[in-house]
A and B are shown apart, each in its own frame.
Chain A
Amino acid sequence: MSWHGDDGVNGQWVDDEALARDLTAALAEDDLYRGIEQAGLRAFGFQRQLVALRDELDLLLLELVHDSENNDALVAVRDRSGTDTRSLVFEGLGIGVEVELTDDHVEGQVIPAGPGRVMLHGPDGVLAEVDTDEVGYFRVDVRPHGPVQLVCSSDTGACATQWLVW
């Protein structure tokens, strides 16, 4: 059989057990592979809605410029109450959002400060929506997991943060 031995053809399946093991690995990956494709297909539909919103509001995309989890990735930050917090800063042209995540809520401030509205988006739609006060502060009592985008709007402009796993 040309499949066996060191004949230069596919040495990784030297016997049935090797082939069966590889088949198991291949099948185990099928779900992940399909999941990745499905995530891609879903992203488009949701994003098209945002594109419409963006055209309407002239949405500016903000990039992540600080993530406490990555800058001091190996050191846990604990506040006085003993819970983990993670701070994120997003910035674009003249607009910024600073966010702090704890176990059970999200709070933050939109800069420049001013009243407005903040929407928390997940891949499947809006997770939460709340007004910001006169200094741009907001708080929502949800702790999203998975990819999140923050869309902020006020009299001075509108912005959306890049997608990030919170």
Chain B
Amino acid sequence: MRTLCAGRATIRHVTPRPPHETGPGPQPGPALDAPAPDHSLTALVAAALAGDERAWAEIVRRHAALVLARIHQFRLTPQQAEDVAQTVWLNLCEHLGSLREPEALPGWISTTTRHECLRVTAAARRTILVDPATDLDLAVEDDEDGLALELLRDERHRALRAGLAELPEHQRRLLLLLSTDPPPTYLEVSEQLGIPVGSIGPTRQRGLERLRRTQALRGYVASSTGTGFDAGGRDVLAWG
């Protein structure tokens, strides 16, 4: 089966590449040689290009929340989410050298992640053949406000996870177990943790109360009641 051979009329003509012409491959521009503060994006990008894996890891850590927030704007399956994340990071590796302005990196990541999300959701929609008349993608319009809300939600969730890590073992284990979806019955919890059914409710209550008083959540509340949250923003977040 050779349907794509030269006989196929639809293949577009592409001018042969002259041997002397080289592509604009990823080469560090002169700007990257300029002195920069150690932990600026510019410095991290330069270090990553030179092969410094820790610099790359820091770039990834700084932007993982942004990728996650974008992914949350679309209803992706875990597999789709993983595909999107991998694609974004792999392409970022490719483009690292040709970024003229490393400080523009967050914008690049944000846009690229959105495009990949649109792509995989389009692919899935095509596969399941949803009626286009009733399921035109509402997310095609870039929703910057939605993205900001996702970033805030993610910050809150990271605070919750950090707060949970501060709890004493018995409370942490119980809250972890009760937070699985679907939650186990108290009987199952009792068997798994070796605690009486009657103590589960009170331990949970004390754990949640303690969670609210952890450093992580206090810190989060202190920062989020500052300039970032006006009354309107809090109202929106209430159902977020």
Contacts and interface: CB of A to CB of B under 8 A. Distances in A.
Interface residues of B, number: 89
A156 to B, nearest CB: 6
Interface string B59-96: 11101110110010000001001111111011111100
A43 B95 CA distance: 13
Interface in B6-47: 6, 8, 11-19, 21-26
The majority secondary structure among interface residues of chain A is mixed
The majority secondary structure among interface residues of chain B is helix
A107 B3 CA distance: 9
A94 interface: yes
A71 to B, nearest CB: 10
A36 B67 contact: yes
Contacts of A156: 16-17, 19
A118 interface: no
Interface of A: 3, 8-13, 16, 19-20, 22-33, 35-37, 39-48, 51, 54, 58-61, 67, 69-70, 73-76, 84, 86, 89, 91-96, 98, 100, 107-109, 111-113, 123, 135, 137, 139, 145-147, 149, 156-157, 160, 162-165
Given A40-B59, A76-B126, A156-B17, 4 more contacts: A9-B221, A12-B240, A23-B175, A23-B211
Interface of B: 1-6, 8, 11-19, 21-26, 48, 51, 53, 56-57, 59-61, 63-65, 67-68, 71, 78, 81-87, 89-94, 116, 118-120, 122-123, 125-127, 129, 132, 136, 154, 156-158, 160-161, 164, 175-176, 178-181, 183, 204-205, 208-209, 211-212, 221, 224-225, 234, 237-238, 240
